[in-house]
Amino acid sequence: MSSNLNKLKFTNLYKWEIVLISLYQLGGVKSKVHTEEIAYKSFRIKSEEFSWTMKKFSKYPDLEPTRKALFKLRTEKKVIGAYATDLNKDGWILTETGVEECLKRREFLDIKKNKSNPQQFDKSKVISIKRSDYFKSFINKKNDLDKFDIYHVADFLKIRADNIPNLREVFFKTKTVSKIVDKNIYNFLEYVQTQNPKIFDEDQLMIDGKVKSKSKSRLI
């Protein structure tokens, strides 16, 4: 077991809290994390809640409690993602609401190597948005904001504008990280979202994530 995890302080947490904290510790603010990774991390934090039932198998992590908790968290819009045996389709990432829930539990996020902590690369990627004309017009309260469209958004995100699901996913991921990195950029992205409600629709983002798990069920 990891020496920097004080197990006693996790005693009174619910399973969904353990899973949420595990996803945060594994870098779920910035990138998708596989279900099995979350399950193993949850098991290491609170093995009695995430192990097989029979005593002789209690040293092995059980995937089912983690999977159920992730589905609950997805329903509550705290995570986005899907469970699939195909690792290319499997994975979970925190939403803004999920990050907020984690930050309410800061005392449980104090491991030394927290992969959700923005590194210099993450910060640079977010801060680069400040160089865009769109951001400059917004921050300087200019009257020319109507001239900016979805192509300008794709430009400062450095991705193509013709793949809307990907654009939506990158936008929300960037927005979540910006909440930790720079408040002005976060406020700007909030504004951009209000100007493009159909494209940057969080409900549609949740649906996009669920499509992956549905594709698995058709193969069974």
Higher pLDDT residue, 14 or 109? 14
Using an 8 Å Cβ cutoff, are 20 and 42 in contact? Answer: no
- 106, 115, 121 from 111: Cα distances, Å: 10, 10, 21
CA-derived radius of gyration, the chain: 19
Give the CATH number of domain 7-114: 1.10.10.10
CA distance 100 to 95: 9
Residue ranges with strand state E in 78-200: 79-82, 91-94
Taking residues 88-114, report their average pLDDT: 86
pLDDT per residue over 178-189, tens digit each? 988 999 999 999
Residues of the chain with CATH 1.10.10.10: 7-114
The model's confidence at residue 7, banded by pLDDT at 50, 70 and 90, is low
Model pTM? 0.81
CA distance 70 to 7: 22
So what's the pLDDT on residue 65?
Answer: 95
Residue ranges with strand state E in the chain: 79-82, 91-94
And the tokens for 213?
């798990």
- Which of 44-48, 50-54, 127-131 has maximum average pLDDT? 127-131
Taking residue 209's Cβ as centre, other Cβ atoms within 10 Å add up to 20
Residue 213 has pLDDT above 60, yes or no: no
Helix (H) or strand (E) holding 63, with range, is helix 63-75
